[in-house]
Structures are given as C-alpha cells and as structure tokens.
Structure 1
Amino acid sequence: MDSLDLVTTELTQSQLLSTSLDEFVASLLRMEDLDAFFCRHPTLPAILLATTETELISAYHSTDIEHSRKAVQKTLFWLYQTFLADPLTAESKNQHHPVMVTIKRMIEKKWLAHETEHFAALPSATSPQLFTESLRKLWSHHRSATHPLYEFLQHDASKAQMNAFFKSDSALNLLFFDLIAMAMVGARLEVRGELSRNMWDECGEGSDHHTHVNLYKDLLMRNHLELPEDNFADTLDWQGLSGYNLFMLGGTNREHYFKLIGALAITELLDPSQYEKLVLGSKRLGFTERDLRYYTEHIGIDVIHAEGWLQQVITPIVEKSPAAMAEIWIGANMRLNTVDNYYNHLLNSLINLK
C-alpha cells in the first residue's frame, strides 16, 4: 500500500504497521491533526515505540543490518526534515509532537552509542593547539582522506557514472547553507567572524547566481539531471543517510552542537584534494568550467576555511570550554567514519552501474 494512503484512510493498527517504519513515520508527519489520529488509535504510540526499538536492535545489534539500518536512518531523515519544512505544512506542525520526538531521541541515542564504539578515545591531557593538531592527524591518517572513490572518478568513471555521483552528492551539498546557518545560531562572539566568512562564500558573496546551491543546481540542470523535491535523498542507502543525519543531529539538537562543529571542520579538510581529482575526471569526460564551478570554487576556499575552522572556531571554543573537545572529537570521528561507509557503498554502486 502506498504510504500516502495512510493519511486519508481509516485503517486497523495492524494494517498501519504493515508498512516500513520510515514510511509509516513519514505518513504520520503529513497528518494535519496527529493528536486526533492518536486519540482514535490510543494504543498505537506504544506499538510504534516498540517497533522502533525492534528496528534499532536489528540495525545495531545483529549481522543482518541492511534493511533495518536503512529504515532507522530514513526515519530519522524524515524527522529531521520537519526542521526544514515549509512553515505552513503539516510536517512543521508535527515537528515537536511528543511521539515523534521520542522516536527521534530513541534513534539518536542508539545510533550514537553504536558509533562511539568504533573510534579511538580523545587523546588525554591535550591543549587547544595539540587538539587541533590531533584533528588534523585524525583526518590525514583516515582512509576516507584518500579514498579510492576519487581515483575511480578521476581515471575510470564514465559520464553516466559521474552523473550518478552528482545525484548522490546532491542532498548534502544542497543542505550546506542551512548547516552553516545552524552553526551560527547561539555561536560564541569570538567565532562569529569565521562563521560569517563561511556563510558569505556559501551565499556567493551576495550574488544569487553564484550562491553555491545555485551553482550545484546549474550543474545538474545543464546535464539534464532533473532535481526532485527531496534532492535525490531517495537514492541514498543507510550509509548516505547517516552522513546527512549526522549534520542534522548537531544542527537541530543544542546538546550536540559541538559535534556539528567537528563534522564541519573535517568536511573542510576533506574536500579540496578530493575535489581536485573529481574535477580532473569530469574534464576528462567533457564537463565544462561552468559545469564544475561549484567544485572548483571549493578547491580554493575550503583550504582557507579548513584552517579557519581549526584556528578561529575550534581553538577559541576549546580554550574557553575544554570539555567541548570530547564533543568535537566525536563529531569529527563520526564524519570520517560515515563518509568512509558512504564512499565504499557509492564506489561499489558506481562500478556495478550498467
């Protein structure tokens, strides 16, 4: 059954729960009066929470993870999308519905517990200067920093494979303006200058035509890649969804704000050298300078931004709040690990593309 039917049809609870968790939650979020719906089905919230717990156990405590992990991460994706929804939609009204918030927090807690088991602990007795060097070392020694995906794109990818990469890259690239805006909310005075410089560049220095979102949309349009409403998020498996959700975790939960700072800093370190290979591969296939403007701009400015994030954002934060190092470290590690999983999955998908 199409999940959209759940919004307008009276169904039994067993029928409602016969769909996947993510489709069910997405349908609930589209309901104009979710409270009234739960009043008609008073036992449904408890069943829904139990279903979420079952999916989480399957996703993070079993060997057969693929279906459950995608269901969990896609559910979290839909819950985070309420923070970006049109203010006049049902999704915006249901943003803080208690049942939806409970599901979100259940997933976040289990996911974070799983992720933090898979990277080294923060080096002890570190100073702000040593901490930024530890972050730089963490990035440079991680497999994702020199991932074979970009060697493949540079030397071997066909145009169809390159276009598939651009589609897969869309959801997060088109979110970046919002992520920087989220990082600016409640930012400390001493870091606002660097964050503002990032935002100014993201906005194309005030030009609507050159704002990075429009540069990326221009790349897609010129190569006949029609952008759907979800920015190709529907093409992502759990690996890509996890990477997207990491940023939204930090951007929409104040307690995880410093994780966002760590994830953004690592992104600025990762992108320049990888984008150089991507641009070379794209030119090999006949993509033009205009097509690649989004990526070529990032090659230069992200080198500057990476240093700015380390010295002008992270250093003043940890000088004033040493405890923030642990949170930034988690965000940095999660960014590296989620992007490595995403690159692994994407490379295999591109190689298998017919």
Structure 2
Amino acid sequence: MPTHSAGVADVRSPIHLAPNAAKTFHDLSSLALERDDADRWLAEGPRADDLRHAARQVCALAFSGDHPDARRDVHHVLHRLYDLHLARPVPGMTRNQESVELLRLRKQIEQAWQAWEHNRIGDVPENLTPDAIGGAIKAMWRQHAGHNHPVFEFMRTEADRAQIIKYFTTDYALNMRFYDLIVLSLLGIDEDVRMEVAGNFWDEMGQGNAARTHVRLYRDLLDYLGIEDNPAAFVDALGWEGLGGYNLLLYFALNRREYFRSIGALAITELSDPDQYAKLIEGCRRVGIGTDRPSVLDYYSEHVEVDALHGDGWIDNVIVPVLRRYPDQARAVLEGAAMRLNTSKDYWDWQLAEMRLLGKSAPDAVATL
C-alpha cells in the first residue's frame, strides 16, 4: 500500500513544449469560459484544434514532465470547468455547462491527470470481504506518510498567528464546497445508505440552525480575523497541490462511474480530520486566536467531535452495505482512499512550506493572499 505521495520513479525523455503552447492553453481556455457560447466561439477558425493541441502538450508537461507550473495551470483550468456545474445560479449565466468543446477539454485533462494519479497509488489489498474493508482503510491511513502530518504539529507548537491565518485562507476552498460534495454524494444512492449520508448533510446544515451551518461557522472565523471573503482570490492563491486535492473530490463526485472511489476518498476525509483539527485548535489558542471568543473556532471544534463518529459511520453504514451489494468494487474503494491520502499529503506539504516561507520573509506580518 502507498506510503508516500510521490510518483513511481522512472526515467522520462524530456518533453519539448511547442512555442507558446502554455500561453495558447491559458488564453483559449480562459476566453472560451468567458464567452456566452464557448462552442460557437471555439468553432471560429482553428481555435478548437489549437486548444486541444495546446492542452495535450501542457498536460504532458504537467503529468509526464513533472513540471509544477504546468500542473497548476492545468488544475486551475479544470477547477473552472468543474465550477460550471456548481456555480451559484444567477441571471445572465453562460451556456457553457453543456459545451461540447469544454467537456472535451475536461475529459482530455482528466485522462492525463488520472493516469498520473493511478501511477502513484501503489499496492492495495486484493479480494477483501466487505467486513474487512474498514480495517484495510484505517491501516492504509495510519501507514501513509501523510498520517500525523507535521503541518498540524507545527501549528500546535511553533506557528505564529500570521502563519495560522495563512492556513485558514488556503483551507477555504474545500471547506466552503464540502456542502456541495455531500449533496452530490446523495444523488441516486441506495436506500440503505441514505440515512448516513443525510446525517452528514444535516450536520453540514447545522442540524437546522442557520447560525450553525458549517459554511456560516467558517465565515464567522474569517470575519473575526478580518479576512475578506473572496473565493476567487483564495483559489488563485492555491498551488497545484491544493487545487489537485480539491479537484479530486469534484472529479469523483461529478463522474458517476467514480462513485466507489468517491466513498473511499470521503472516508479518509472523515477519519483524518479529528486529530488534526485538535492540534490546530491548540495552536490557535496558543497564539490568541479565539481566546477572547471561543465560538469562532467552532467550525474546527465541531469537526473534532462530529467527524470522530462520521468516520466509522461512513465505513459501517455506507461502504460496507455498498460492498455487500457490489463486492468486486472493494479495490476501487481502496484506490479512492489512497488517492485522497496522496493528494492530502501533497497539500499539507505545500501548506507547511508556505507557512515556513511566510515566517522567514515577514515574521511579524499579517498573513495576506
């Protein structure tokens, strides 16, 4: 089973990027997304072909050439493509949710990216019974290099206030989108697993208390810290590592064939949060965040309490019943868990590096985007 987040070591030939391929990929994808009808705009001249050729080269550089800037560019475009399906409904929205060309671009990116992700899964147990899956997921989690990641011990014992605030700004995107992920995980599922997933949704909704929804609790924390709620800026500040973890969960949720990997990935999310967030809360109190108003940390303290139950509940009441119905999907569940572990470690490695960099460059500064 995987114990690291790096890809399988190999020797690759250098990838030669055609002149302006990265710029072509960025410009054409951005302009198409901004048009009311991307398909009509891309059909003019060679734009559609140019975009496909540029995307192929940039994806090769990102996932075969191990080029972090290219990987970030690809993940940022993929994030925008996924957002077409999750954007808040407002007047004047584009028609691009149904765009054939943008769907083709999305599939082109997903194919290259998923090949890379699968290449670093490593070995997973074979032929597990449904009753053995919980132990296998927990063993995979505990043996992974991301388990007890040092970023959380750093925040508990060393990080200053600005560095911890930096963590909150980078953690924004997925925290604010988790409601949608739970909603998507409810679609089309079997009746015997609905109650567990609905319970997760009800907790996200503050159990009916508008002031206690998880989105509202996170916004309360941002307000307390004087951080402007600016989703676009928070996403733009992420490296490929943060975007990759975010995109993985959306990829699973938006592709019905990935359902079994999705429930494995969500199990890891529920299992890993409590211990990590307990360390974060301790670090916050050490630097004075929430000491005058403890309720501003309720987003994280609630996850410490609730996710301790959700982890086992998700395994026992979602994964096990599903695998009793489809026992041949145990491997897919474990693959989803492994992929979530790898992308989480990528993200935490990046967060720790960003916080340490902030401490070196401006030890007394207030964290900004």
Scaled by the length of structure 1, the TM-score of the pair is: 0.91
Mapped contact 2:264–2:337 kept (Cα < 8 A) = yes
Residue 149 of structure 1 corresponds to which residue in structure 2? 151
Distance 1:172 1:113 in 2: 23
8 Å contact kept, 2:39–2:101? no
Distance of aligned partners of 1:199 and 1:128 in 2 relative to their CA distance in 1, 3 Å threshold: same
For 2:355, the equivalent position in structure 1 comes to 350
Aligned-residue offset at 1:163: 0.5
Q: Which deviations, in whole Å up to 9, do the C-alpha atoms of 1:268-307 show, x marking residues without a partner? A: 0110000010000001111221121000000010010000
Identity of aligned residues (%): 34
Residue 217 of structure 1, CA deviation: 0.6
Write the distance in 2 (CA, Å) between the matches of 1:17 and 1:88: 34
The structure-2 alpha-carbon separation of the partners of 1:314 and 1:218, relative to structure 1 and needing over 3 Å to count, comes to: same
**Which letter does structure 2 place at the counterpart of 1:180?**
I
**2:44 pairs with 1:44:** no
Q: How does 1:233-312 map to 2 (within 5 A)?
A: 233-288=235-290, 289-312=294-317
Give, as a single letter, the amino acid of the residue that structure 2 aligns with 1:331. Answer: G
1:53 to 56, 59, 69: 56
Structure of greater relative contact order (alpha carbons < 8 Å, 6+ residues apart): 2
Letter in 1 for 2:230: P
Aligned counterparts of 2:250 and 2:96: Cα–Cα separation in 1: 17
Equivalent residues in 2 for 1:71-220, closer than 5 Å: 71-88=73-90, 93-220=95-222
**Structure 1 residue 66 displacement after superposition:** 1.1
What is the Cα deviation at residue 227 of structure 1? Answer: 1.2
Mark the CA change 1:291 to 1:87 in structure 2 (over 3 Å): closer, same or farther.
closer
Q: Which moved more, 1:242-251 or 1:227-236?
A: 227-236
Contact 1:83–1:92 (CA under 8 A) maintained in structure 2: no
Q: Partner letter of residue 159 of structure 1? A: R
Q: Give the equivalent residue in structure 2 for 1:31.
A: 35
Residues 83-131 of structure 1, C-alpha deviation per residue, up to 9 Å, x if partnerless?
1123346665201211111111111111111111112333122101112
On the 8 A contact 1:17/1:24 being kept in 2, the answer is no
CA positional deviation for 1:221? 0.8
Question: Which has the larger displacement, 47-56 or 255-264?
Answer: 255-264
**Deviation (angstroms), 1:231:** 6.4
Which amino acid counterpart does residue 321 of structure 1 have in structure 2? Y
Q: Counterparts of 1:172 and 1:349 in 2: how far apart (Å)?
A: 18
Tell me, in whole angstroms, the C-alpha distance in 2 between the residues paired with 1:23 and 1:305: 43
CA contact (8 A) 2:260 2:329 kept: yes
Distance 1:316 1:231 in 2: 41
Return the match for 1:330 from 331, 335, 341. Answer: 335
Shift of the alpha carbon at 1:324? 2.2
Q: How many residues align?
A: 339
Tell me the CA shift for residue 30 of structure 1.
1.8
- 1:319 is aligned to 324
1:326 Cα deviation from its structure 2 partner: 2.2
- Distance in 2 (CA, whole Å) between partners of 1:287 and 1:329 is 37
Question: In the alignment, residue 50 of structure 1 is paired with which amino acid?
Answer: H
In structure 1, distance between residues paired with 2:133 and 2:43: 52
Check 1:276–1:56 CA distance in 2 against 1; reply closer, same or farther (3 A cut). same
Deviations 1:301-320 (A, max 9, x none): 00100000110000000110
TM-score (norm 2): 0.88
- Name the SS of the counterpart of 1:309 in structure 2: helix
Deviation of the 1:35 alpha carbon: 3.2
> Which residue matches 2:9?
none
Instruction: Compute the RMSD of aligned alpha carbons.
Output: 1.9
Cα distance between partner residues in 2 of 1:88 and 1:218: 25
User: Offset of 1:17 from its aligned partner?
Assistant: 7.0
